[in-house]
Amino acid sequence: MAGSSDFDLYRPREEHDLLREAIRALATDKIAPRAAEIDETHEFPHDVLAALTASDFHAIHVPEEYGGAGGDALAACIVIEEVARVCASSSLIPAVNKLGSMPLILAGSEEIKQAYLPRLARGEGMFSYALSEPGAGSDAGGMTTKAVRDGDDWVLDGAKRWITNAGVSEYYTVMVLTDPEKRTHGGITAFVVEKGDEGFSFGAPERKLGIQGSPTRELYFDNVRIPDSRRIGEVGEGFAIAMQTLDHTRVTIGAQAVGIAQGALDAAAAYAKERSQFGKAIAEFQGIQFMLADMAMKLEAARQLVYVAAAKSERNDADLTFFGAAAKCFASDAAMEITTDAVQVLGGYGYVKDYPVERMMRDAKITQIYEGTNQVQRIVMARKLLEQY
């Protein structure tokens, strides 16, 4: 079995270890000192974007033939994990760049890939992903935003909601109705909309529990005219492209959750060794030791599931849908538990903003919700499981 098992296909290689060292150094030096301020001011960290771009960490997944670093799925997870370890808001830069551009990589024509992927790789603009609407969240088929063909163009009307990095990103992959009768069965098509397109605008930033440095806004389309060359895939393939994209990118949300949880465990363990009560460090009390042990156990289980799913993403395995959902679901549930326990370890100090764990607990919550709630992930897993019987 040695040398031929799946373990060889997902265990980090030397290049991944070197990548981790590099991104951890950048995160520690450039991002960690800014994390609390980013959370407090609710401002997008343009300086962090610049630092990530300078090192090709902003969109490491872009293939080399389009000017990117050509990082595999595990490399993307490592970057997101290490940035999330210090600042979840900042980790959404590489995560959402992958989410927004993955439809082009999976289904775009060579023309549209050449038009946008090199720009993303050069850091000329970020990509966002627009599927959800005010009345269509888990039920994507309930969308009402539409595109009507007009000669060689399409005219878009409607609104999208919960769009990460909206207003900052230059490019938006948007799923819209092109046949209201067919809907998810061939009635949805994907397009690229650019920030400067006439009739395209943004709502006010949402007031959120966490990820405060990543703007979440509505997108408004008022007779937005775009050429057919900006269509991703064939007409009617949009829903399939959207779901295929999420199979891959849910793995990165699992990586983000792992990073947040790792940051919380680091803070809790360090505090437990420094904080004294009853004449000794609280780390010497078995109750605290058991909490830390459980946190570490859940974290490592989550990390290994994410890495396995990353390997399956890279190979586009037939069971990726199950593993992508499982990695996202398990890791985000674990992150919520671990960050909550980290607050408990710190006690009253964990509840105040002088320490990072309350921010990490707030940031962890969204990982259970976006890119499909964990209830939806369980539906996805159950369907795939029952197909085998």
Cα 165 to Cα 66, 127, 162, 214, 372: the distances in Å are 23, 8, 9, 6, 17
Locus of tokens 């994907």:
190
SS3 call for 376: helix
**R_g of the chain computed on alpha carbons:** 21
Quote the percentage of the chain above a pLDDT of 70: 97
Quote the percentage of the chain above a pLDDT of 90: 97
What's the DSSP call for residue 33? G
Contacts of 364 (CB under 8 A, 6+ apart): 88, 210, 257, 260, 261, 264, 332, 335, 336, 338, 339
Does residue 55 carry a pLDDT above 90? yes
Q: Residue 386: which pLDDT band, with cuts at 50, 70 and 90? A: very high
Q: What is the pLDDT of residues 117-127, one digit of tens each?
A: 999 999 999 99
Locus of tokens 């998810």:
184
- 11 within 8 A of 69, measured Cβ to Cβ: no
Query: What pTM, to 2 d.p., does this model score?
Result: 0.96
Q: What pLDDT was estimated at residue 2?
A: 34
Neighbours of 291 (CB within 10 A): 18
Q: What pLDDT was estimated at residue 7?
A: 43
Cα 363 to Cα 22, 168, 206, 339: the distances in Å are 24, 20, 15, 9
Interior CA angle at 246 toward 232 and 67, to 5°?
55
- Tokens linked to 291: 């909490």
Between the two ends of the chain, the Cα-to-Cα distance in Å is 28
Pairing label, strands 276-277, 280-281: antiparallel
How far apart (Å, rounded) are the C-alpha atoms in residues 126 and 172? 9
Q: What is the pLDDT of residues 128-178, one digit of tens each?
A: 999 999 999 999 999 999 999 999 999 999 999 999 999 999 999 999 999
- Closest by CA to 42, choosing from 168, 219, 204, 215, is 215
How far apart (Å, rounded) are the C-alpha atoms in residues 243 and 324? 11
Contacts of 105 (CB under 8 A, 6+ apart): 61, 63, 113, 117
Beta bridge partners of 202: 219
Q: Is the dihedral of CA 340, 343, 345, 347 positive or negative?
A: negative
How far apart (Å, rounded) are the C-alpha atoms in residues 331 and 252? 10
Q: What is the pLDDT of residues 66-85, one digit of tens each?
A: 999 999 999 999 999 999 99
Show the domains of the chain with their CATH numbers: 7-122 (1.10.540.10), 127-238 (2.40.110.10), 241-386 (1.20.140.10)
How far apart (Å, rounded) are the C-alpha atoms in residues 375 and 372? 8
Q: What pLDDT was estimated at residue 12?
A: 76
132-143 burial string, b = 16+ CB within 10 Å, else e?
bbeebbeebeeb
DSSP string, 46-89: HHHHHHHHHTT-TTTTS-GGGTS----HHHHHHHHHHHHTT-HH
For residue 371, indicate whether it is catalytic: yes
pLDDT (average), residues 226-254: 98
Catalytic residue among 237, 314, 358, 371: 371
Does residue 10 carry a pLDDT above 90? no
- 195 within 8 A of 169, measured Cβ to Cβ: yes
Q: Burial, 52: exposed, middle or buried (Cβ in 10 Å; 0-12, 13-18, 19+)?
A: buried
Q: What pLDDT was estimated at residue 9?
A: 53
Q: What pLDDT was estimated at residue 13?
A: 84
Does residue 363 carry a pLDDT above 70? yes
- 233 within 8 A of 108, measured Cβ to Cβ: yes
Does residue 188 carry a pLDDT above 60? yes
The chain-wide mean pLDDT, for the chain, equals 96
φ, ψ of residue 195 in degrees (nearest 5): -55, -35
φ, ψ of residue 305 in degrees (nearest 5): -65, -40
Q: What is the pLDDT of residues 300-312, one digit of tens each?
A: 999 999 999 999 9
